[in-house]
A and B are shown apart, each in its own frame.
Chain A
Amino acid sequence: GAAGATGFGSMADTGLLESLLRLLEKVDGGTDSQDVAADLGVDHQVIVGAVKSLQALGEVISTEQKSSKHWELTGEGREIAEQGSHEARVFNAIPDEGLPQNGLMKMPSGKVGFSKAMSNKWIRLDKAHEGGPRVFKTVETIEDTVRDKLQLVQKGQSAKLEDKEKTELKKRKLLSEVTVKSYWITKGSSFSTTITKQETELTPEMIASGSWKEKKFKPYNFEAMGVAPDCGHLHPLMKVRTQFRQIFLEMGFTEMPTNNFIESSFWNFDSLFLQINPQQHPARDQHDTFFISDPALAHEFPQDYLERVKQVHSEGGYGSQGYKYDWKIEEAQKNLLRTHTTAVSARMLYKLAQQEKFTPVKYFSIDRVFRNETLDATHLAEFHQIEGVVADYGLTLGNLMGVLHQFFTKLGITKLRFKPAYNPYTEPSMEVFSYHEGLKKWVEVGNSGVFRPEMLLPMGLPEGVSVIAWGLSLERPTMIKYGINNIRELVGHKVNLQMVYDSPICRLDS
């Protein structure tokens, strides 16, 4: 975190820091850390450490990194700068009466020094001397130019040497060219020549004693991430569900009790005027429905209502031709996992029709439905259906479109258009499309319609009452909202909890 990221462990000693600062005080426009090292007579690396310590104090100094090429003595070069070149050392070792060659060769500089001194013509070799070959000086004094040159480099005056000379010394492995990283140091906005020890954190003691007023505090590193809070997380799909609930509540819709996954065919199909014979109607494909083997049958129905449903299916009535087939209670009794929450809407509308006097209602639900269909990246056997229903006298198709416009506006979708569609229990039926700015095309966002009179009138709802309704899935807008392509990454046990931890809050209209 910001507080912990700046170490204070390698603090250079205060004396050195203050010397550096005093030096800096005297110069105008700043100085190079290499010059500081030369002036204070310490190794450059020590000054680099001091600069880093001063940087950690805030705005005391400001620095700029530089890099420069620089000639430096090798180990051998330093030795020569101190003790003279090998040839000079050989020359100086020879007394006036000469020295036996084998003794000279045993000297540390013997071999190299001998051949160099020979080629400089400082010495001669008398091979025929009695007692073995002997070396004699040929000149009185010599000038050790190699040592002189190296000493110039040592003093930082390598500029005085010609390039050729430097190349020659480099070849003899006495000099090397190095790249030096140094700092150009200038006074900072809070420059001072004295160092105050910096505190890491404010403590209760400092608050009690008031000592915080005199103290300096180590700056925070605001580039670092904070420490993650220890907390739980809501599931993204449930966050979106909460928002949809909120929207319906804002629009005055009352929540329906959808806590009944098991439904009878009667409420799931027949009450909606969907044909019971699974062979006769495409909308009621047995293959899409999970049927229940235990408990296989529902055993209780509102009897009068059931008779009216039977009649409208098999013979018609209420202005309808009906489907004209042999309606069987045995089919209606079959239990199943509800394929839509409209089964609950049917129960609620039936209940509404039993009131002594009709009152207008607005209902909504968001809950699970089940389909026994082929699974793929966007289809699971269970998903959440969002449904809205309005029942009142004289509702029009224009009203349905108006309500949908308000609903989708709350989701941040304002460009809507409606396509005629076929849905067996609504007439008219409309698919709702919205213009997707990203995809640059119209995409289906929901389905809607007006419930058929063959559904409403047998329930006992008054003739002039219309019921408009619409539905959509919860998963699809959530996948779009959170950028998820595979539904299994959103719903079910295979989700990555990190996705749950990291998902932002849900505001559907932004």
Chain B
Amino acid sequence: MPTVSVKRDLLFEALGQKYTDEEFDELCFEFGLELDEITSEKEILSREQGDEKAEGASDVVLYKIDVPANRYDLLCLEGLVRGLQVFKEKLEAPRYKRVSPADGGEPQRLVITEETASVRPHAVAAVLRNITFTQERYESFIELQEKLHQNICRKRTLVAIGTHDLDTISGPFTYTAKPPGDIRFKPLNQSKEYTAAELISHYKTDSHLRHYLHIIENEPLYPIIYDNNGIVLSMPPVINGDHSKISLKTKNIFIECTATDQTKELAYRTETLSGDFINKRVGINESAESIAQLLTRMCLRSEVSGEGDLIQVEIPPTRADVIHACDIMEDAAIAYGFNNIIRSTPRTYTVANQLPLNKLTELLRQDLTAAGFTEALTFALCSQEDIADKLRKNIVETRAVHISNPKTAEFQVVRTCLLPGLLKTLAANRKMPLPLKLFEISDVVLKDETKDVGARNNRRLCAVYYNKSPGFEVIHGLLDRVMQLLDVKPGRNQGYHIQAAEDSTFFPGRCAEIFSCGKSIGHLGVLHPDVISRSELTMPCSAIDMDIEPFL
């Protein structure tokens, strides 16, 4: 969610009204904004770099306001004021339209050459005429451009915006692409010319620009915009030229946007929907006229069409997020006030059912604690080492699901058994009085080609007994108790039994496989001394690990 930082006093001046912090917070809340923080430059500097650095910084009160991710039209002071004033019916929503130059001249042109197709194929341009910057407006203009870059432009990957002082350049303009060696210009705020290749290495250490280099760095051709005299306007999406930079004195601005995709058209469109639709979806009972008024307050200029309760709603090009009648319905509900809607219970009659697997899990958990074992809650993600080396297993045999983009080794795989988590819990609690008796009933994940995604969860029960003596009999006793709870009798065929087995995680001769109704469901035994020491433990430990899904 983008955050916009505005000077409080300027905001109130523009709104034509002063508010207390609480009142303004309330207004934001109703409109779907959040007054996130009340601060100042001095306070921010002092917090981030200490009081000394903050000395002399401005203590003008700043409001940091969270704006929902779909409302790009609110990302600056001017946008916020416009939205709020229309919401409060103090202002009519502006209607944007393209105008020709006042002097009757030809509109500017931007020519796109074929070479751009391979790197950044789309571009649009516009001219803002007769503007007057003040220091605040200038800063807000730059700040808005940056907010758009960071959010809807996806850190300039999707779209890059360049703004230029039109009076320093002359059209028509050309958007083309060239080998980096063939591009040479003086970039913004630099004193000499660089080739594009030099610029890339120059900006490698720039704390801001280095984040955008990757977008074109390895392309054979770099995007570049020239004016009619061969002056470089910009090398999108990295840097503008110094020649055309805007200043407080700029009167006419040339805006170019280059992009990887172009789907939206900057046009108004009209949707027609019924008042009844909105009333029924929101749960209110308003006339079509009053709904049209609600929508108008949300910058969606609306009027009743005269046919029944139909309302015609004009969607401005600034609201690209409105793509369905439900989006219009939401704006009507916001303007009505969510908290003014009468809350009512739906009459939907249903009978509840538990998921059988979770029901079994809940019941078993209760009885395992009654048997003296304490419940652990461990992570589903872990390192390859946790499920393989530490348990003396080969990673290939684990059937583990592997993560392609882990930030650290802790998130390399999804666990294939619960034992590593319990062993780590023991290691973190070595100072607790012995014996330690832990269990967990939870899901592991195994590759399974029969499933649509090629993997499935498996609900398992794992328990450990950690003490000065291995306590195989304790873990064996727990198995007997669990089977008793599941109403499975000891026995070879219809019952359960254990049988000596070899498993590299366990101490040789101290491991058995568990069979229920003839089917192998898990293992129990004394852990291998290497498993103990690789888990940073010092005492003998016995463990049981079994599948509980056969008992559904």
Which residues does A use to contact B, with CB under 8 Å? 230-235, 237-238, 242, 245, 248-257, 259-264, 279-280, 282-283, 289-301, 316, 318-325, 335, 337, 360-362, 368, 370, 372, 380-382, 390, 392, 394-399, 401-403, 405-406, 417-422, 424, 427-430, 442, 450, 452-454, 466, 468, 491-498, 500-501
Question: Contact: B326 with A234, CB < 8 Å?
Answer: no
Q: Which 3 A-B pairs have the closest CB atoms?
A: A398-B283, A396-B283, A420-B32
Cα(A188)–Cα(B443), bound, Å: 66
Question: Contact: B414 with A262, CB < 8 Å?
Answer: yes
Q: Least Cβ distance of B201 to chain A in Å?
A: 26
Q: Check if B379 is an interface residue, CB within 8 A of chain A.
A: yes
Question: Contact: B452 with A300, CB < 8 Å?
Answer: yes
Contact of A492 among B355, B379, B449, B459 (CB under 8 A): B379
Closest residue of A by beta carbon distance from B407 = A372
Question: Contact: A429 with B330, CB < 8 Å?
Answer: yes
Q: Kindly list chain A residues whose C-beta atoms are within 8 Å of the C-beta of B282.
A: 396-398, 428
Contact of B261 among A259, A280, A402 (CB under 8 A): A280
Q: Least Cβ distance of A350 to chain B in Å?
A: 12
Question: Contact: A399 with B403, CB < 8 Å?
Answer: no
Number of cross-chain contacts by CB at 8 Å: 294
Cα(A299)–Cα(B450), bound, Å: 10
Q: Least Cβ distance of B460 to chain A in Å?
A: 11
Q: Kindly list chain B residues whose C-beta atoms are within 8 Å of the C-beta of A257.
A: 355, 357
Residues 412-429 of chain B, each 1 if its beta carbon lies under 8 Å from chain A, else 0: 001000000110110111
Cα(A232)–Cα(B374), bound, Å: 4
Q: Kindly list chain B residues whose C-beta atoms are within 8 Å of the C-beta of A402.
A: 343-346
Cα(A380)–Cα(B380), bound, Å: 12
Question: Contact: B352 with A248, CB < 8 Å?
Answer: yes
Q: Of the 9-residue stretches B104-112, B113-121, B334-342, which lies at the interface with chain A? A: B334-342
Q: Contacts A232-B439, A292-B403 known; list 4 others, CB within 8 Å.
A: A245-B358, A420-B338, A427-B327, A428-B338
Cα(A420)–Cα(B298), bound, Å: 13
Q: Kindly list chain A residues whose C-beta atoms are within 8 Å of the C-beta of B170.
A: none
Interchain residue pairs with CB less than 8 A apart (17): A231-B372, A254-B351, A254-B352, A255-B358, A259-B443, A261-B443, A280-B261, A282-B152, A291-B405, A292-B403, A298-B453, A372-B405, A395-B348, A399-B344, A420-B334, A428-B330, A493-B376
Q: Kindly list chain B residues whose C-beta atoms are within 8 Å of the C-beta of A380.
A: 379
Question: Contact: A249 with B354, CB < 8 Å?
Answer: yes
Known: A399-B345, A454-B324. A422 touches B68 (CB 8 A): yes
Q: Least Cβ distance of B342 to chain A in Å?
A: 5
Contact of B352 among A249, A360, A452, A500 (CB under 8 A): A249
Known: A402-B344, A419-B34. A396 touches B280 (CB 8 A): yes
Contact of A453 among B31, B151, B326, B457 (CB under 8 A): B326
Cα(A316)–Cα(B323), bound, Å: 9
Q: Least Cβ distance of B166 to chain A in Å?
A: 31
Question: Contact: A422 with B70, CB < 8 Å?
Answer: yes
Question: Contact: B454 with A295, CB < 8 Å?
Answer: yes
Q: Check if B135 is an interface residue, CB within 8 A of chain A.
A: no
Question: Contact: A497 with B429, CB < 8 Å?
Answer: yes
Contact of A232 among B344, B348, B437 (CB under 8 A): B437
Contact of A421 among B68, B325, B350, B455 (CB under 8 A): B68
Q: Kindly list chain A residues whose C-beta atoms are within 8 Å of the C-beta of B456.
A: 260, 262
Q: Kindly list chain B residues whose C-beta atoms are within 8 Å of the C-beta of A361.
A: 350
Closest residue of A by beta carbon distance from B420 = A493
Question: Contact: B452 with A299, CB < 8 Å?
Answer: yes
Q: Check if B362 is an interface residue, CB within 8 A of chain A.
A: yes
Cα(A424)–Cα(B343), bound, Å: 24
Cα(A299)–Cα(B365), bound, Å: 36
Question: Contact: A245 with B362, CB < 8 Å?
Answer: yes
Cα(A324)–Cα(B346), bound, Å: 36
Q: Least Cβ distance of A244 to chain B in Å?
A: 12
Q: Kindly list chain B residues whose C-beta atoms are within 8 Å of the C-beta of A453.
A: 324-326
Q: Kindly list chain A residues whose C-beta atoms are within 8 Å of the C-beta of B407.
A: 372
Q: Least Cβ distance of B425 to chain A in Å?
A: 4
Closest residue of B by beta carbon distance from A466 = B281
Question: Contact: B281 with A397, CB < 8 Å?
Answer: yes
Cα(A240)–Cα(B253), bound, Å: 59
Known: A290-B406, A320-B323. A261 touches B445 (CB 8 A): yes
Q: Check if B10 is an interface residue, CB within 8 A of chain A.
A: no
Q: Check if B78 is an interface residue, CB within 8 A of chain A.
A: no
Known: A242-B362, A256-B355, A290-B403. A427 touches B453 (CB 8 A): no
Closest residue of B by beta carbon distance from A401 = B343
Question: Contact: A381 with B411, CB < 8 Å?
Answer: yes
Q: Kindly list chain B residues whose C-beta atoms are within 8 Å of the C-beta of A498.
A: 432
Closest residue of A by beta carbon distance from B32 = A420
Q: Check if B521 is an interface residue, CB within 8 A of chain A.
A: no
Question: Contact: A401 with B338, CB < 8 Å?
Answer: yes
Q: Kindly list chain A residues whose C-beta atoms are within 8 Å of the C-beta of B157.
A: 279
Q: Least Cβ distance of B242 to chain A in Å?
A: 30
Question: Contact: B370 with A283, CB < 8 Å?
Answer: no
Question: Contact: A232 with B375, CB < 8 Å?
Answer: yes
